Amino acid sequence: RAMSGVPRRALLWCTLVTMWELSWEQLRYSLPEEMQKGSFVGDVAKDLGLEISALRARGARVVSEGRRQYFSLQEKTGHLVVAERIDREQVCRLMDKCVLRCEVLLEGEMKVYATEVEIRDINDNTPAFKEGQLEEKLSETTAVGSRFPLRSAQDPDSGSNSLQRYELSGDDHFSLAIQTATDGEKGPELVLAKALDREEAAFHDLLLTAMDGGDPARTGTARIRVVVLDANDNAPVFSHTVYTVRVREDVPVGSALLSVSATDADDGMNGEVKYIFQKISEVAFEIFHLDSNTGEISLLRELDFEEISSHEMEVQAKDDGGLFDMAKVTITVSDVNDNAPEISVRSLLNAVPEDSPSGTVVALLHVQDRDSGANGENARVRYRLCEGQVRGAPLSSYVSVHAETGALYALRSFDYEEVREVGLWVRAEDGGAPALSSNVSVRLLIVDENDNAPQVLYPPPASSGTGAVAGWTGVELAPRSAEPGTLGDVGVSVTRWLVVAVAAVGFLLVAFLLVLLALRLRQWRRSRLLAASSGTLRAVPASHFVGIEGVRAFLHSYAHDVSLTADSRKSQLGCPGGSCCNTLPAAPPPDKDAPLLLPKETS
């Protein structure tokens, strides 16, 4: 029996290993740089052996490393396409091989397929010199065959599209030699082919051409003027042939890193030494500054270990007579823990069923730390759950996170009737000194399941059948359910409509009373006006009537002038001497004032 169990365990291990390898299958593609957005990269559906419908059903999507999304997955075709135009010289600066990595994630199966896309270089850059005009000063006693290094051209392209050769033209006193460094980089050197004679020619103008290996080839040129000087028999000499310094990446801008020093035994102008960068990369040229008089190298902008960890350059010490010496400078950047882990949610279940069993993975977290060494290995990053509570219970009793993988899983089933959503924070912390960390917020929505039966609320269950009313043939049920769906909302819906009906009836009653009151007030006001105008017929000026039909008849019969003073309450009423009617105007009764005239005061 013991022997029979060994093959079974071996078979189980083989099965698990096979499933793991299938889950982490790697896809590799290649495409040229500068491709348009939407360009085809690879057929993911075909390479994974999946139908397009199956790929869509499993929630396939592309997750890129870093902050920029260079690729996307088309749902209709299953093709991996370019999402953003890629410039190889910017994305993979100073790298011979440019590979962009992303992951094809099948959320439905929690499977990840690592994908590598190699970006091939095209000849889209021309070799260029930092300065279009170069000047070399040579003594007329310079020996034939002497070599003078020239500044190299720069071509960001790689492979055969990079800088391949130089050509020199313009004068037969000089020729061109190519010096190949240990790293394979080619540098031009000016070789004196014939003896110089200042009295014969004080200047020699040359043209240096740099060419790459593209088809067609791209070229860049620089003009060189050679100034012939009088004799200078001593060249500058550096105190060291190699200068090495190590600095932290957080050193302040403007700090002096090191100084190079060279001496010249000559006196006067021929003994003055000037320092220049002879061979330096474009990146280093933007970071470091060399004082031409003192030889001090200082920092122009911040260092970044994650971008470049070491800088190499050559410094030339040259006197006024054209003699020089060379020294190599190496600046090594030390890493500090200046990058916090970048944590993100790689995959998240949109909704978690309330009956999910314990151990269900509800989210996958991913972290990146740009630091390296003891301060930033991703294997040293650990996840932990921030403290919190859910309905008075500790958050750690509901969910947990794996400290190394970042998998967030449920510890027990949820109850939608008690908890409908869970909000939490997950922290990722690196192993640096001091440690840096970052947080991410995760919100889990709980989905209800039909796990509660309806309950009859009305009528209440009778203890016996003796209390039933005679002639009752049925009952009216008022069901209630703990579920928030249609059945659970029946009682709530009936109550809501009853409240709406009562409110509507009350509103109509109040409106009816207001209308009735308005009609009564209007009738009362009209009766008052009629009572005032009834009795003995009196001639009333037009200003006595407000809104009474027939006012125009009185306006034809009477006219009056009213003048009011603004400084007091005095008023004057002027009446004409005659009337067109056969009646005389009657004055109002002494015990009643005219309702529409201001009281008259005598001065």
Average pLDDT over residues 526-534: 77
Task: Quote the DSSP letter at residue 39.
Answer: -
State residue 455's pLDDT score. 66
Taking the C-alpha atoms of residue 64 and residue 105, their distance in angstroms, rounded to an integer, is 10
Task: Note the pLDDT tens digit of each residue in 413-458.
Answer: 777 777 778 878 888 777 766 777 777 778 777 777 766 777 665 5
Place of tokens 């039933």: 468
Place of tokens 């083989």: 14
Residue 164 pLDDT exceeds 80? yes
Taking the C-alpha atoms of residue 478 and residue 497, their distance in angstroms, rounded to an integer, is 14
Confirm if 337 and 433 have CB atoms less than 8 A apart. Answer: yes
Can you spell out the DSSP letters for 442-461?
EEEEEEP-S----EE-SSPP
What are φ and ψ of residue 19, in 5° steps?
-65, -40
Q: How confident is the model at residue 242 (pLDDT cuts 50, 70, 90)?
A: very high
Tell me whether strands 163-169 and 310-319 are parallel, antiparallel or unpaired.
unpaired
CA dihedral 32, 37, 43, 45 (to 10 degrees): 150
Q: How many helices (H) and strands (E) does the chain have?
A: 7, 37
Task: Note the pLDDT tens digit of each residue in 88-113.
Answer: 888 887 777 888 888 888 877 778 88
Of all residues in the chain, what percent carry a pLDDT higher than 90?
22
Confirm if 107 and 58 have CB atoms less than 8 A apart. Answer: yes
Task: Give the closest residue to 137 by CA, choosing from 318, 290, 262.
Answer: 318
Confirm if 79 and 43 have CB atoms less than 8 A apart. Answer: yes
Domains observed in the chain = 21-120 (2.60.40.60), 123-231 (2.60.40.60), 342-447 (2.60.40.60), 554-603 (no CATH)
Burial label, 305 (beta-carbon count in 10 A; 0-12, 13-18, 19+):
buried
Task: Note the pLDDT tens digit of each residue in 179-235.
Answer: 887 777 788 999 999 998 887 888 999 999 999 888 888 889 999 999 988 777 788
Task: Quote the DSSP letter at residue 496.
Answer: H
| pTM tops 0.75, yes or no | no
Please tell me whether the peptide bond between 599 and the residue prior to it is cis, using omega within 30 degrees of 0.
Answer: no
Of how many residues is the chain composed? 603
Taking the C-alpha atoms of residue 283 and residue 89, their distance in angstroms, rounded to an integer, is 12
Q: DSSP H helical segments within 268-403, as ranges?
A: 282-287
Task: Note the pLDDT tens digit of each residue in 562-580.
Answer: 444 444 444 444 444 444 4
